[in-house]
Amino acid sequence: MDMLNPISGEIFYIDKPLGWTSFDAVKRIRTVLTKRTHKKKLKVGHAGTLDPLATGVLIVCSGRATKNIDTIQAGEKEYVTTLQLGSTTPSFDLETEVDAHFPTQHINLELINSIVPQFIGEIQQVPPAFSACKVDGKRAYKIARKGRHVELKAKTLIIKELEIIDFDAVNYRLKFRVVCSKGTYIRALARDIGVALGSGAHLIALRRTRVGNIHESNCRKIDDIINFLQNEPMVTLEEFESPETDLNIEF
């Protein structure tokens, strides 16, 4: 029987739940793997951060497979998101309270469709102040949460597809699907769409449905993965270091 070998490297496809940080998932998996393999300093990392208020595809790598993280997170991403039009928050999502309201009566599906093309292709995007971008060696969100101004430079990125799924003209909620390059902040896209509509906007729901060729259908709930790892046959540190062990691992 083939055994899991987290030391040589395994890759786990997780459907991250709402409210969890990406590190929460990494920590849960690392805790189980270090206990099962008897290796205290086992490398475990994720390939692309998801905000706590986002759900969906999160890829976690262990052992030597962590060398693949840069390659994995460089792949294009797909998201499905819902915007609340007519109001903004400092974080551009529900992490912070609404700080301003804007008119919405002029917004209709025709106007929305007319502004979509300006967000497709190569664009410039200023990351949110509430982000992991670094400013003078510090994470921007740590500065922003102290109420201090954060100045971030625009970055070049690519929006391959932006498809309107639904527009609720009563509550002014806009749902769309976006396929984009690494480094795209959907919260910042929400901000910019709000501005383009002559209003404001912030995210009220976000789900990552794909990373590269890994779809949400390939992912499992974190509790199911933890249960699997607690019961599946697994190579221990002693077995891994044994000269008699033939691992036959290919990278």
Residue 51 bears catalytic tag: yes
**Nearest-10 Cα torsion for 75, 78, 82, 88:** 20
How far is the first Cα of the chain from the last one, in angstroms, to the nearest whole number?
20
15, 51, 93, 192: the catalytic one is 51
How far apart are alpha carbons 199 and 143 in whole angstroms?
Answer: 27
Active site residues: 51
